[in-house]
Amino acid sequence: MPLTDTAVRNAKPEAKPRKLADEKGLFLLIHSNGSKYWRFKYRFGGKEKLLSLGVYPDVSLAQARQRRDDARKLLANEVDPGVFKQEAKRANREIAGNSFEAVGREWYTKHSPNWAVSHGDKIIRRLERDIFPWIGNRPIAEITAHVLLATLRRIENRGALETAHRAHQNCSQIFRYAVATGRAERDPSVDLRGALPPAKEKHHPSITDPTAIGELMRAVEGYRGSFVTRCALQLAPLLFVRPGELRRAEWSEVDLDKSEWRIPGEKMKMKAVHIVPLCSQAVAVLRELLALTGQGKYVFPGVRTPSRPMSENTVNSALRRLGYGKEELTGHGFRSMASTLLNEHGWNRDAIERQLAHAERDSVRAAYNYAEHLPERRKMMQEWADYLDGLKSGAKILTFKLN
């Protein structure tokens, strides 16, 4: 007699596993621990076989019967339902492995070792926040330009146009990787050129008026927060490296006797060694700091975890504490300050660009010319520091000494 919902629900376990038969090969297997499994018994190729149809109560009696009937239809077409199920699982695994997210994470794993840590973190956060939730589970080969554009529009509509353009670029890189590894035929993102409005060029807030710079230098001198943070604030305008390069500085890279900081290529945005000449003022700050943090790895260790560098928000937070809003000045703005004033006062543009570690068109040239313009840069960095001292003291200094 066929089973009923009540009979299935009330079936009790016994000392040994037992079966409750339904009809047409379907039965309920009840284990001694009380778990209940649907099974379908059938014959194929002269052999008796069993097919698992799910666990009760996740799969109801009606659902189990439907699955049994689907299996019987396969048998009627001379298809083994057990083999069919295994092939379906394999296909699903293949689809999951070729999803946009799976390919994207594989691309990230392959390439991220060659990026700065901060750069890689931004990319994966962007993908996890703005891309994967919407198209991550789709087979990458089936994603069209229209589908990708709809995802990018979500970013654009919240006012993050620059992020939308960066996400577009990252998606294109993932699609090209999929093509190269045989998971897609083409990159549909190329069809979206011009679909997003151009992003306005974003400049880091900076201070370039000499009088205002003097006020800033005096404010930094009077900073009453952490000594380590104060040192970072003092060095930022003297060195004008990127904020991430400054906070991740290691004592092993600094030679105070030679007045030089050599940043390894793997820590630089352009992957080339970068030499930062240290003016006498920077050396004095670092010698003070050496007594406090010199036993550790980092010049600017984190407050809670000294084995890691200070937080990326530390310098910006200190500037806010000094009364400078995010629209007035950021840690990155010290670079713009130096670049603007140095160019205005006639210093060699190539020396300025080299000191800022800006992109070199020829990557081979960049790798081997990290010492380019070094004597001139040493002189420039020292006179820049002297100029800042003059502004801090309130002197009306308008030009650098170029000779």
Annotated catalytic residue, options 36, 67, 242, 379: 242
Annotated catalytic residue, options 126, 166, 269, 271: 269
Closest CA to 381 of 259, 230, 226, 249: 259
Let me know if 373 is a catalytic residue. no
Let me know if 335 is a catalytic residue. yes
Closest CA to 104 of 175, 152, 182, 167: 175
Q: Residue 307 — φ and ψ, nearest 5°? A: -75, -5
Distances in Å between the alpha carbon of 277 and those of 21, 50, 157, 200, 283? 85, 76, 45, 34, 10
Query: Which of helix, strand or coil describes residue 26?
Result: strand
Let me know if 332 is a catalytic residue. yes
Annotated catalytic residue, options 67, 332, 378, 379: 332
Q: Residue 37 — φ and ψ, nearest 5°? A: -125, 135
Closest CA to 95 of 61, 139, 51: 139
Who's near 139: CB < 8 A, 6+ residues apart? Answer: 95, 98, 99, 100
Per the listing, tokens 């699903």 go with: 92
* Rounded Cα distance, 155 and 131, in Å: 9
Q: Residue 49 — φ and ψ, nearest 5°? A: -135, 160
* Rounded Cα distance, 112 and 119, in Å: 9
Let me know if 242 is a catalytic residue. yes
* Rounded Cα distance, 21 and 152, in Å: 54
Burial of 363-380, coded b for 16+ CB within 10 Å and e otherwise, reads eeebeeebebbbebbbbb
Annotated catalytic residue, options 65, 68, 183, 335: 335
Catalytic site residues?
Answer: 242, 269, 332, 335, 358, 368
